[in-house]
Amino acid sequence: MEVDDEMIKSIGEEEEKRKPIVVILVGAPGSGKSTFCDHVMRVSTRPWVRVCQDTIGNGKAGTKAQCLALSNTSLKEEKSILIDRCNLDREQRADFVKLGESHQVDVHAVVLDLPAKLCISRSVKRTGHEGNLQGGKAAAVVNRMLQKKELPKLNEGFSRITFCQNENDVQAAMDTYGALSSSDSLPSGCYGEKKADTKVQLGIMKFLKRVDPPNRVRSDKTVPGSLAEIPKENHFVDAGQDQQMGSENGAHPLDSPPPTLAFPSISTADFQFNIDRASEIIVETVEEFINKLGNARLVLVDLSHGSKILSLVKTKAAIKNIDHKKFFTFVGDITKLRSEGGLHCNVIANAANWRLKPGGGGVNAAIYNAAGPDLDTATKNRAGSLAPGKAITVPLPSTSSLFSKEGVTHVIHVLGPNMNPKRPNCLKDDYNKGTKVLREAYLSLFENFASIVNAQEKLSDSSSVKPDSHSHLDGISNCDQKVRREDGASNTERNKKLKGFIGETESKTLYSVDVKENAINSGKKSQSLNKDWGSWAQALYSVAMHPEKHRNDVIEVSDDIVVLNDLYPKAQKHVLVISRAEGLDRLADVREEHLPVLRTMHDVGLKWAQTFLSENESLVFRLGYHSAPSMRQLHLHVISQDFNSKHLKNKKHWNSFNSPFFRDSVDVIQEVSEQGKATLNEDEKFMSMELRCNRCRSAHPNIPRLKSHIGICKSPFPAPLLQNGRLLTKSDAC
């Protein structure tokens, strides 16, 4: 037996030695992920497999599914894997983390968080790239990807995260992993993360959440504003220019982006004006004017990858500490800022000719071509010529493609000084006069923009409707508000997903009827009628009152109830049994006279659970109510206890069904029968409880780990759940 024990011990140790690891590389194109993989695989004695989406399809680009399949096969063969994808956001990393957890191996992240300028430069210059991301197009791609950057955290399921913020860090990380033998392991934790940088990045990521959703804003990172306060590793660049996330100045994601003027330099090569002096004038006039614009923004744009004017301006603006939220630089085509660069500018400036004619070259030709003949017609209606140092605003007709495709509502023509002897009004070498004219041109441009902003604000004020005093969220518990926000973005989006359950007009009508009935009713007012429900929260009420309008969604209907599949199921099987009783909006409204309704709902719920169990006898069901529901109209959850659903994403989702916040139907019926009402557990603390398995009650750090555990946990359910018919199994159904 001693020999056998030693053999078993030896085998166990050998298995531990061969235990592979998953290393997920996180970084933009050009950050050095492939170089990292090649180095590690070349020098390491540990068996590694590089999983690269650019080449996984027989040397060509493939899919994420193919990457996961290769990763799974490699882990089964006890080979460590290097995930060579950008993996810039949590969602992109999640499946690989989950795969590592399913194989019970450590999952590491190596973050190549290098300055974006360096990544862009590498991407633009390289040739023969596996994914063909090279040349000029690489800049825009890198910018778009960096906007989604979400640095990994340990709570995603990583056991170790290494942050590399310069090439020395990268080399050190390559050496670390390259030195690993099959029996080596690395300590857990975060390494190389800079605290100050993290704070700045969190602020930048906050901006990301506030930008216009369809068109996330990018701007120059190293210009205007305190350059020293913004670490380079958080820059977003285009063709060699550092880019910064543009701020919406505190706007809500559903709000329109702030008024933004994109303007080119109007005094450089075309007019042969001294570029250093020109940059000084831009910064001086911006500094003078910026505080007059409220939350509006100014963006200096240049198409050139190595623009000297942008470089000079950003340096000078940084020295003057100009607010980088209100003024920044941007590399891109001024006629395609939204479609190609993600920067929403409602006003653009044109470096016009004095005749205000299309044609010529540069910005003038580009803007007229993009706007179409509508701009020429609109310009002629405003003026026939323009003097140096002056600007004129031309509202852009909605028929213009520049309006419809890019969201540009106005073009401001501006004429700078002419230092070119081949053109009229040449100032020759009179830079004193030229400087004055140039300054006047920028001031006139900004004044025209300010007029547009003021006019829009007045129009908004005069046409705005006084908001309903009944907030969509008033009266709803904080925890339930958060659960609802996490499940889908906006009420508008949720209404669309509800397939017409309730529209904006209908919700207002329903609400007004309730208010009217409440006023008519004599005696005490119903608690539910004093609660305000937003339009999204009215969806179940609409179905209950008018099931005939929702035939495609209702799976059972009677005089007392309707049954629906939950729109965001938190388990394999999850249906809602909804009461059709008027005025019975939530559990708080239930009284003894409602016992027949509760029993009917419970019986229907049992019937559906039994139906599901006849299809899959391995399931276990629980029936219950949320103490503080997010949607109007009393509804019973019939939910299987596997919680295998992509919609179960966070702690609040889990705890809303696995804490005292969830009241079992049998207990509710008993309490109402004995006490006349049900006990409500609405405290926020229930939503913030640690994640514990609903069977063995073991604690887990995050949802992926919890789900992985639940999938294999065979422990019996806690004794309280096994009592009083709180759980329904196949044997119970029989």
Q: Is the dihedral of CA 430, 431, 432, 437 positive or negative?
A: positive
Helix (H) or strand (E) holding 691: strand 691-692
DSSP string, 372-394: -HHHHHHHHHH-S---TT-EEEE
Q: What CA–CA distances, in Å, run from 300 to 78, 263, 449, 683, 700? A: 54, 5, 14, 51, 49
Sign of the alpha-carbon dihedral angle for 323, 329, 330, 333: positive
The overall longest dimension of the chain from CA atoms, in Å, is 105
- Residue 635 catalytic? yes
The residue type found at 594 is H
**DSSP 8-state secondary structure symbol assigned to residue 320:** T
Angle at 581 between CA 580 and CA 585, to 5 degrees: 95
DSSP 413: E
Neighbours of 92 (CB within 10 A): 17
Which residue in 344, 635, 637, 653 is the catalytic one?
635
Q: Which residue has the tokens 């882990």?
A: 75
C-alpha 532/C-alpha 468 separation (Å) is 11
Whole-number Å distance between alpha carbons of 493 and 499:
11
Counts of helices then strands in the chain (DSSP H, E): 24, 23
Q: How many CB atoms lie within 10 A of CB 268?
A: 20
- Supply the DSSP symbol for 56: T
Residue 134 CA: distances (Å) to CA of 129, 319, 332: 7, 34, 17
What is the rounded (10 degree) CA torsion for 434, 437, 439, 444?
-160
Measure the CA–CA gap between 270 and 422, rounded to whole angstroms: 11
Non-local CB neighbours of 639 within 8 Å, separated by 6+ positions:
566, 569, 570, 571, 573, 574, 621, 622, 623, 657
Rounded CA separation 86/110 (Å) = 11
- In sequence order, the 6+-apart residues with CB closer than 8 A to the CB of 183 are 17
Distances (CA, A) of 603 to 304, 671, 676, 699: 71, 17, 20, 34
Contact 335, 367 (CB under 8 A): yes
H/E stretch holding 544 reads helix 539-545
Query: Please, are residues 161 and 108 in contact by the beta-carbon 8 Å criterion?
Result: yes
Alpha carbon 221 to its chain's center: 20
For the annotated catalytic residues, the residue numbers are 635
